Amino acid sequence: MSSIAAQTYLTPQEYITVERKSTLKSEYLSGEIVAMSGASNEHNLITVNTVTGLYNQLTEKGCRVFASDMRVGIGAGDSYFYPDVTVVCEKPRFEDNEFDTLLNPIVVIEVLSQSTETYDKGEKFRRYQQLASLQEYILISQDQVRVEHRLRQDKNWVSSELTSLEDILQFISVEAELSLQQIYRFVEI
């Protein structure tokens, strides 16, 4: 999803209060509000293909797969993001009784656009690493067949890249897999 930085500072609680009343989504980065713009056809197809493929494999294992409307909170209100796909396999932990801010995802997936790629690979990933529960961070390009897989191994993150429709993306932490052919189904690249 594309994002546009707005020069508005809010406390974490002010952000949550405003966000819950808003019809538009925005992310929160240490007081800065980042407005979210609409997603492209390719972005939507990739997200739906990924959610569907994971949902079909993980529900019997007790995992929950969320699409882009589930907010993820990081660092006691330091950051709030709307990943394109989120997986939680333990009992979901939420910030409060509204149950709209997840605190313990095991897998986070972002679909990249030209406007968000640097941010998603850099600052956003640095923030996500604060989540002790997070084991895998997946970045899926919508402009070319390219999936970057980042896997936590102890205190380090190991990266690998898949670039062929014949490749299989292995989700180690949740014992699932998706072919890139499935992820990119109906996407014209």
Structure tokens at 118: 């640097």
Question: Do residues 86 and 109 make contact, with C-beta atoms less than 8 angstroms apart?
Answer: yes
Cα separations in angstroms, 104 against 75, 99, 127, 145: 11, 12, 14, 29
What's this model's pTM, rounded to 2 decimal places? 0.92
**pLDDT one digit per residue (tens) for the chain, 189 residues:** 445 444 468 899 999 999 999 988 999 998 888 888 778 999 999 999 999 999 999 999 999 999 999 999 998 788 999 999 999 999 999 999 999 999 999 999 999 998 889 999 999 999 999 999 999 999 999 999 999 999 999 999 999 999 999 999 999 999 999 999 999 999 998
Provide the sign of the torsion angle of the four alpha carbons 71, 132, 64, 57, taken in this order.
positive
* Residue closest to 58 by CA, chosen among 18, 94, 112, 109: 109
3-class SS shares of the chain: helix, strand, coil, % to 5? 25, 35, 40
Predicted local distance difference test score (pLDDT) of residue 23: 87
d(CA 48, CA 54) in angstroms, rounded, equals 10
Q: Which domains does the chain have, with CATH numbers?
A: 39-183 (3.90.1570.10)
Predicted local distance difference test score (pLDDT) of residue 60: 94
- Burial code (b: 16+ CB inside 10 Å, e: under 16) for 120-157 equals bbeebbebbeebebbbbbbbbbbeebbbbbbbbeeeee
Q: What are the strands of the beta sheet with 85-88, ordered from one edge?
A: 64-66, 85-88, 107-112, 136-141, 147-153, 156-162
What one-character DSSP code corresponds to residue 94? Answer: B
User: What are the φ/ψ torsions at residue 33 (nearest 5 degrees)?
Assistant: -95, 130
From its phi and psi, is residue 53 left (phi > 0), alpha (psi between -120 and 50) or beta? alpha
Structure tokens at 160: 């690998």
Predicted local distance difference test score (pLDDT) of residue 76: 79
Predicted local distance difference test score (pLDDT) of residue 8: 60
Question: Do residues 93 and 76 make contact, with C-beta atoms less than 8 angstroms apart?
Answer: no
Question: Do residues 83 and 77 make contact, with C-beta atoms less than 8 angstroms apart?
Answer: no
